[in-house]
Structure 1
Amino acid sequence: MLGEIWSFQGRYRTLHLTWFAFFLTFVVWFNLAPLATTVRADMGLDLGQIRTIAICNVALTVPARVIIGMLLDKFGPRITYSSILVYAAIPCLMFATAQTFGQLVVARLLLSIVGAGFVIGIRMVAEWFPPKEIGLAEGIYGGWGNFGSAFSALTLVIVAGWLSFAGGASVDGVILNWRAAIALTGIIAAIYGVIYFFSVSDTPEGKTYQRPHKTAGLEVTSIRDFWGLMGMNVPFAAILAVLAWRLQKVGFLNSTTFPLAILAILIWYGAQSWGVIRTNKDLLLGRKTYPKEDRYSFRQVAILELTYIVNFGSELAVVSMLPSFFESTFSLPKSTAGILAASYAFMNLAARPSGGLLSDRLGSRKNTMGFLTIGLGIGYLLMSLIKPGTFVGSPGVILAVLLTMFCSFFVQAGEGSTYALVPLVKRRVTGQIAGLVGAYGNVGAVAYLTIYSLLPMWIGGGAEPTPAVVAASNSTFFQILGIAGLIVGFLCYFLLREPKGSFADLHEGEEETPALSAV
């Protein structure tokens, strides 16, 4: 497969078209960060308000990934991906034309749904590549598509400058048309959504797209798994409650609207639980028993959810704090600190495909997952040693960047390894499993960022944090990430099972046909 990656024929054409779809959703999802300072100055926002908008950017991604996983299994990846790409233009245009803080918040909440697009391509790629090659294919999809966030950070300020001929906001003497730049990302995504719809199919010729019997909730195959699923769904509601609490802390929600937000979260969790009950009603009432060959263990899904907390969840959190970490640790200019911090995200291009490739080649997807997750834990523990005065001067900065890149390799390779396993758990509900696992990544990000924001207060006893307290809280934060990684890594070794047919030529339920063998 390695020699055919650059081909634009057959399944490789679908792979390239699909990772680019993911790339555009991440360009859209992260289009605020590089222009946040300009938006704040132009709209007259205070620090709390711009942070509120940033929180809104991830608020609905958690439930959206769950819901889109259901829609994906029902309607197929072609129409689902095309729809979310076209939809992206709506919140982008709303944000670009907003005149008040409230309008910015509503637009950003709607735009956070676009961040759920990732899960769609997981099933599309799985339909086109056999189990023995699924790791590298999913790794390329995830790693190259994920680069959309870095591409947005690197280019949108330049694009906003090019578009300044039509007006814009002046910040430090530079005119940037942030409205046109953000609108442009949505328009490009929508155009590509139409192109994608007419350029791909859900499966190769001769294959049938397997759909679950019901899509209101994840189908499980035993009573024990039902209760496991119900328990693992609780953190979704809990993390949304944390987000609501943070919105209250920055003043967006008040004593009247905060209880309404909590009520809405409870209603959503109740609807989600009722959907699971309806889907599995016959199993619960004893009217249905799954034959052995059709069963799967939900424990597999639960452990993959935990791995995605510690790899993708930690990546989102670390990417958010790393520029300020380098700036405060080494007393660097903001621009230099930002460039050094980008080394973490840039590893995605190679690390995530490498994780998938290792999963394909090492002969055990389970052991590869465990190895990479433990490596992640060790990497974060090493990063906790980076403190002011520990690594000094240019050699110290270089060593810190090398440690960061070492850690980020295991983080992102672990992400690739996770999604080398997801499509092999149970084929007909791959979309829902991908959605649940992906949503747990966002659960981890919000949880980690909440801990990160509170650590200086805890360590400093509630007083204004001193540089020493900030350094101690940064070190503690990396230690928390490292310990969590080690724990989940050991769970992979002892509780994760090697999926049946991990390295087979055909997926579950497929039979060799002349049309399929020609793909």
Structure 2
Amino acid sequence: MTVEKFNLFNFSGKMKVLHLSWIAFFITFVVWFNHAPMLQAIAASLGLSAAEVKTLLILNVALTIPARVIIGMLTDRFGPRIVYSLLLALCSIPCFMFALADDFTQAAIARFLLGFIGAGFVIGIRMVSEWFPANELGTAEGIYGGWGNFGSAAAAFTLPVIALLFGGDDGWRYAIALTGVLSLLFSVIYYRNVSDTPKGSTYFKPKHVGALEVTSKGDFFFLLVMKVPMYAALALLAWKLSPAGVSMLTDTMAVGIYIGLVLLYLYDVSHVWNVNKTVFKEPVAEIHRYKFRQVAVLNILYFATFGSELAVISMLPLFFAETFELTPVMAGMVASAYAFMNLMSRPGGGWLSDKFGRKPTLLILTLGLSIGYCAMAMVDSSWPLWLAVVAAMACSFFVQSGEGAVFAVVPLIKRRLTGQIAGMTGAYGNVGAVTYLTVLSFVDYSTFFMVIAATAVVGFIALLAMEEPAGHIAEVRDDGTVEMIDVNSAATAR
């Protein structure tokens, strides 16, 4: 771990890695949400119905659920440098596919595949945790996540303008294709300019690949339970695509997917057993244990925070357009105010966690999140537009600060498992997005926001069971010696 000063205007050492990582994440978000600000133009060009448009929104976040788990495992095994570079390069392909789509089916397949790029976030969490000490980690992860998340706002601001510059019915195609080019080019830049750890540091890898390690019998069963919502969200997506939804799949195909998901879950259970069966034979030494309960609480909180952000980013341009009768370009720019807060809110949440403790910060931010969405539920056409924007920005402050506070905790649970823990927690964000967007397809906007507020209350209650990270993480080097990694924030160190 390097001891150089934390200076945002420094572009060498750990700060160079932080800057290149948030830019990589920024690009993944530009690509992932390049369609959202131009949905009306895309729908008109491809002749999409309202139900098909909402299906595209769900498809866009669906594959990210398993992708984040898989990418987390690959990151822990092969290192963030090569995994991030490959992800950026490979995901430019479905981006180009979407730009060339001629009908709903082609667009849906491309959008589904593009969900994989949403897993990029997980990679940078592990990368940043390798370069920054615990007392700076919340701030560094917050900058990485917040400035990277701003990619959705940047897309909302710039892509409609780029589409207008190209002009015609195909302007949106050129704008989206341009984001694919950007992703491809930066994959090379990232690979050539970062390393997985500072010179002389050890990159700790998990003992097993294929499932998350746990350290007690109870946690084994807890892990199996916490995996169920991820498969349930994918089943929900299949139902949405069946004749009960938009009829993209036949009943037979949908049933086949349900059966496949059950079999896949059982296969997953077998992997969890193979990786963790030793905990049933002999207890894990106390020094090497961690509590999976910590992971579960963070999963629930990220369901409510990032899950709601993904859902709201996807629907907010349409919400403002319909509520205040705005043009697509104006609605996209106004809606970007929600994501704009990422620049300061997510780093702010991480900084607050570093200074005042992880749990107290999360409790306050989660409560504020619930109140913020209650305010959003009250917005209607009788409100002045500026006041509606202020409400959206205030709500987003608590949402994104909460995300920063969540990932100020994730790297402090078990270093060698950081990618997998980040992957699971991140996947819960997408489970939340699929759930909220499905709810949106059945209810009005006001009810949609109230549902999010209610789940935030559930997160607040779950948070009471979380413990403040303190002490050290024990990891074993290749030579058998043990390294003790400090996890104390500035608050717990006092």
Give the TM-score taking structure 2 as reference length.
0.90
Q: Deviations over 1:363-397 (max 9, x none)?
A: x21111111111111222233333455x4xx4xx4
- For 2:468, give the aligned amino acid: E
- Determine the C-alpha separation between the residues in 2 that align with 1:386 and 1:98: 35
Q: Deviations over 1:48-70 (max 9, x none)?
A: 44443333222211010111111
The yes-or-no answer on 1:377 pairing with 2:370 is yes
TM-aligned CA distance change 1:375 to 1:45, over 3 Å: closer
- Determine the C-alpha separation between the residues in 2 that align with 1:344 and 1:150: 8
Alpha-carbon contact 1:378-1:486 (below 8 Å) kept: no
Alpha-carbon contact 1:222-1:283 (below 8 Å) kept: yes
CA RMSD of superposed structures (Å): 2.5
Alpha-carbon contact 1:52-1:252 (below 8 Å) kept: no
- Determine the C-alpha separation between the residues in 2 that align with 1:407 and 1:80: 34
Within 5 Å, give how 1:303-452 maps onto structure 2: 303-330=297-324, 335-362=329-356, 364-387=357-380, 389=382, 391=383, 394=384, 397-452=385-440
The offset of 1:103, in angstroms, is: 3.0
TM-aligned CA distance change 1:106 to 1:398, over 3 Å: closer
State the partner residue of 2:83.
Answer: 80
State the partner residue of 1:487.
Answer: 458
Alpha-carbon contact 2:138-2:404 (below 8 Å) kept: yes
State the partner residue of 1:250.
Answer: 246
- For 1:496, give the aligned amino acid: M
The yes-or-no answer on 1:9 pairing with 2:12 is yes
Indicate which of 462, 466, 470 corresponds to 1:496.
Answer: 466
Within 5 Å, give how 1:120-199 maps onto structure 2: 120-163=123-166, 170-171=168-169, 176-199=170-193
- Determine the C-alpha separation between the residues in 2 that align with 1:322 and 1:104: 21
- For 1:305, give the aligned amino acid: N
Alpha-carbon contact 1:96-1:179 (below 8 Å) kept: yes
Q: Deviations over 1:425-451 (max 9, x none)?
A: 111100000000000001111111222
- Determine the C-alpha separation between the residues in 1 that align with 2:84 and 2:401: 25
TM-aligned CA distance change 1:253 to 1:382, over 3 Å: same
Q: Deviations over 1:284-338 (max 9, x none)?
A: 3x1x421111100000000000110111111122223334444555555555544
- Determine the C-alpha separation between the residues in 2 that align with 1:425 and 1:84: 26
- Determine the C-alpha separation between the residues in 1 that align with 2:180 and 2:322: 35
Indicate the larger mover: 380-389 or 347-356.
380-389
Indicate the larger mover: 434-443 or 25-34.
25-34
State the partner residue of 1:70.
Answer: 73
Indicate the larger mover: 90-99 or 445-454.
90-99
Within 5 Å, give how 1:263-282 maps onto structure 2: 263-282=259-278
The offset of 1:104, in angstroms, is: 2.8
TM-aligned CA distance change 1:474 to 1:496, over 3 Å: same
Tell me the SS of whatever aligns to 1:182. Answer: helix
- Determine the C-alpha separation between the residues in 1 that align with 2:157 and 2:263: 40
Q: Deviations over 1:146-203 (max 9, x none)?
A: 1111112222233334456xxxxx34xxxx4433332332222122111111111000
Q: Deviations over 1:96-118 (max 9, x none)?
A: 33445433332222221111111
- Determine the C-alpha separation between the residues in 2 that align with 1:228 and 1:150: 37
Gaps of 5+ in 1: 165-169, 456-472, 513-519
Alpha-carbon contact 2:153-2:339 (below 8 Å) kept: yes
The offset of 1:420, in angstroms, is: 0.3
Alpha-carbon contact 1:140-1:353 (below 8 Å) kept: yes
- Determine the C-alpha separation between the residues in 2 that align with 1:85 and 1:137: 22
Alpha-carbon contact 2:126-2:418 (below 8 Å) kept: yes
- Determine the C-alpha separation between the residues in 2 that align with 1:244 and 1:445: 15
Q: Deviations over 1:4-44 (max 9, x none)?
A: 11210110000000000111111111122234333334344
Give the TM-score taking structure 1 as reference length.
0.86
- For 1:116, give the aligned amino acid: A
- Determine the C-alpha separation between the residues in 2 that align with 1:300 and 1:32: 35
Q: Deviations over 1:269-291 (max 9, x none)?
A: 2232222111112223x1x4211
Higher gyration radius (CA): 1
- Determine the C-alpha separation between the residues in 1 that align with 2:392 and 2:422: 28
Tell me the SS of whatever aligns to 1:217. Answer: coil
Indicate the larger mover: 133-142 or 326-335.
326-335
- For 1:198, give the aligned amino acid: R
- For 2:362, give the aligned amino acid: M
Tell me the SS of whatever aligns to 2:200. Answer: coil
- For 2:58, give the aligned amino acid: I
State the partner residue of 1:61.
Answer: 64
Alpha-carbon contact 1:305-1:436 (below 8 Å) kept: yes
Identical-pair percentage? 50
Tell me the SS of whatever aligns to 2:388. Answer: helix
- Determine the C-alpha separation between the residues in 2 that align with 1:452 and 1:45: 18
Alpha-carbon contact 2:238-2:257 (below 8 Å) kept: yes
- For 2:265, give the aligned amino acid: Y
Alpha-carbon contact 2:152-2:336 (below 8 Å) kept: no
- Determine the C-alpha separation between the residues in 2 that align with 1:502 and 1:437: 22
State the partner residue of 2:490.
Answer: none
The offset of 1:84, in angstroms, is: 0.2
State the partner residue of 2:213.
Answer: 219
Indicate which of 14, 24, 28 corresponds to 1:25.
Answer: 28
- Determine the C-alpha separation between the residues in 1 that align with 2:130 and 2:371: 35
- For 1:476, give the aligned amino acid: T
State the partner residue of 1:230.
Answer: 224
Indicate which of 233, 240, 247 corresponds to 1:239.
Answer: 233
Gaps of 5+ in 2: 474-481, 487-494
